Structure 1
Amino acid sequence: KGITIQNMFHTLDQFHRFLFGDDVVLRFRYKYYPEVSPGAGVDMQCKFCKGEGCSVCKYRGWIEMLGCGMIHYNTLKMCGIDPEIYTGFAFGMGLDRIVMQRFKIADLRKLYGGGIVYV
Structure 2
Amino acid sequence: MHPEILRIMREKILECKKENKIIFVEIQLLFEVQWEKEFDYILLVSAEKETQIKRILSRDNRSKEEALSIINSQMSLDEKKKRSDYVIENDGNIQDLEKKVDDFLKKIEFENILKPILN
Q: Which has the higher contact order (CA 8 A, sep 6+)?
A: 2
Using structure 1 for the length normalisation, give the TM-score.
Answer: 0.25
Larger relative strand fraction: 1
Larger relative helix fraction: 2
